[in-house]
Structure 1
């Protein structure tokens, strides 16, 4: 019989590996970012809502305090913006680079937390952020002319970074929410996205092709409902260091999926940049060097 930790490891590995194929499904759907986001919210929200109803927890959403619901809806608006920006980035700079750039999010959380909540920063934290920025330059290959494609490439980078900022804000809101669990929060976020994008999504239900419905079902049921079920069941069974390492299977699997499906391989310097971001992210998350370094007050 598997131990609790083994179950957690397998659950996170499965979730992150599946999530790495999200970009391929988005590209293959051939739909615009706003339509993909709408159907992800609609289908994923239905799956999460049915699961909550099956567990007898759907009515609990309606009994949440008004302040909690308001913050949950605010996080939903930010999450929807994050998905739209990330899918737009994929259109301009590809799956691999978009995913790598998006994973500077932990550093944005640290910086925003320091300014919003007056959290004290440490010299070691600044060092990890500098390493991450260096990794970002290498991963995007801008220094070597990787952005020679011009405005389209720079727009993609801006969208990926913008998505990371919005997701960092979602993370900060989620940390402060009490009385609501993660599955409930994601259900509300999907419901919020469905309402907001109902009239804005360019592709109406009658305009969606049978092939696109297949991709949308995969994105909604597998990459939203399924992945969140796996993650929220698995993460509580793991220590923070182990979870932090396993969560990086997502960008690794995304890079591999991009290479296998489209034959696109990153340059060696870009892989070096990704490794730098990975190490720096672990350093910030696990607070390497913080105890021995000097705290720096946030301005």
Structure 2
């Protein structure tokens, strides 16, 4: 399976995560914790029984994997928390501000002058975010913030950091990379897990929980991290649209969600900004030089 197919498949599967997480009936921290355990166990078994060549493991890449794991787990928690406050369509649209944030982070890290075009893109995406978040339905900023906007935006920020860091992991086996990252997640979240939430889950809940752990976490991130270093910025910019397309399609078809006209305009503005940021600023160049 080549890198393009792997990345496209990972985006398509991940696009269904909002629907499956709702069926899991667990809060964000507990769901991410179980996902990390499932992925870590499954991928450890896969790695132990796979035919593998002797690998030279660089300490530097292990460090990147740990850091990437921290960003990834925070990204997951924020992303799933956003589903608790807003529809999948709204959360996913805001979440895909990440390429714009990659451009901003790259400018700050290189101490480059922020161009007028970049600022215009940021402003347009910001307006789109407010519209998607339902700005017109809230009387104050506090009400808007309580609707889940900070969680979705925070998820976008940490997704951008995950992408930037993940690009530096080029030699380490992607299975080992994901095992390290999910192990980091288990250690990070263990002190915060509330075990009472697991007492009243149904068999159907556990089916969706295990599915999100094994498929949406272990398998997807194996595909993601094994393909990311091999793709150009142009390919990434196009393929990432598979994720929100699947998510929004499932939200509209399966849950009968209907965005209002303001939210539709906001979605268009955000994805226009995402496309502009991804193509105008070469993501691959940013990733290669960041750390």
Q: Shorter-chain-normalised TM-score: which range?
A: 0.7 to 0.9
1:223 to 211, 216, 237: 216
Q: How does 1:76-225 map to 2 (within 5 A)?
A: 76-142=69-135, 144-145=136-137, 151=143, 154-177=146-169, 179-180=171-172, 182-203=174-195, 207=199, 209-225=202-218
CA apart distance, 1:122: 3.1
Q: 1:58 to 1:152 in 2, by over 3 A?
A: farther
Partners of 2:158 and 2:133 lie apart in 1 by 20
Q: Distance in 2 between matches of 1:111 and 1:119?
A: 10
Change (3 A) 1:69 1:58: farther
Larger CA deviation: 15-24 vs 36-45: 15-24
Does the residue aligned with 1:173 lie in a helix, a strand or coil? helix
What is the aligned partner in structure 2 of residue 294 from structure 1?
Answer: none
Give unmatched runs, 5+ long, in structure 2: 283-291
Q: Name the residue aligned to 1:271.
A: 264
Q: Judge conservation of contact 1:92–1:152 (CA < 8 Å) in 2.
A: no
1:27 aligns with 2:47: no
String of CA shifts for 1:249-295, please: whole Å, max 9, x gaps.
21121112112222111113322221222122121111179xxxxxx
| C-alpha distance after superposition, 1:87-118 (max 9, x if no partner) | 11110112111111111111222212222332
Return the alpha-carbon distance in structure 2 between the equivalents of residues 58 and 196 of structure 1: 31
Q: Note the C-alpha offset of 1:176.
A: 4.2
Structure-2 change in CA distance of 1:230 and 1:180 (3 Å) = closer
Residue 237 (structure 1) shift:
7.2
Supply the distance in 2 between the matched residues of 1:75 and 1:235 (Cα, whole angstroms). 13
Name the structure 2 match of 1:246: 239
Specify whether residues 147 and 8 from structure 1 end up closer, same or farther in structure 2 by C-alpha distance, changes over 3 A only: farther
In the alignment, structure 1 segments of 5+ residues that lack a partner are: 290-299
State the shift of 1:13 in Å.
4.0
Contact 1:49 1:58 in 2 (8 A): no
- Structure 1: how far apart are the matches of 2:235 and 2:212? 27
Distance 1:117-1:172 versus aligned 2 partners, 3 A rule: farther
TM-score between the two structures when normalised by the length of structure 1: 0.80
Structure 1 residue 10: deviation in Å?
4.9
Deviation sequence 1:46-85 (CA, Å, 0-9, x none): 2233333344559859x441x4333422222222111111
Q: Is the 8 A contact 2:89 2:247 kept in 1?
A: yes
Q: Aligned in 2, Cα 1:122/1:183: closer, same or farther, shift over 3 Å?
A: farther
Number of aligned positions between the proteins: 281
Q: Which moved more, 1:171-180 or 1:79-88?
A: 171-180
Measured after TM superposition, the shift of residue 218 of structure 1 is 1.0
1:171 partner SS: helix
Cα pair 1:124 1:288 within 8 Å, conserved: no
- Cα separation, partners in 2 of 1:206 and 1:156, compared to 1, 3 Å: closer
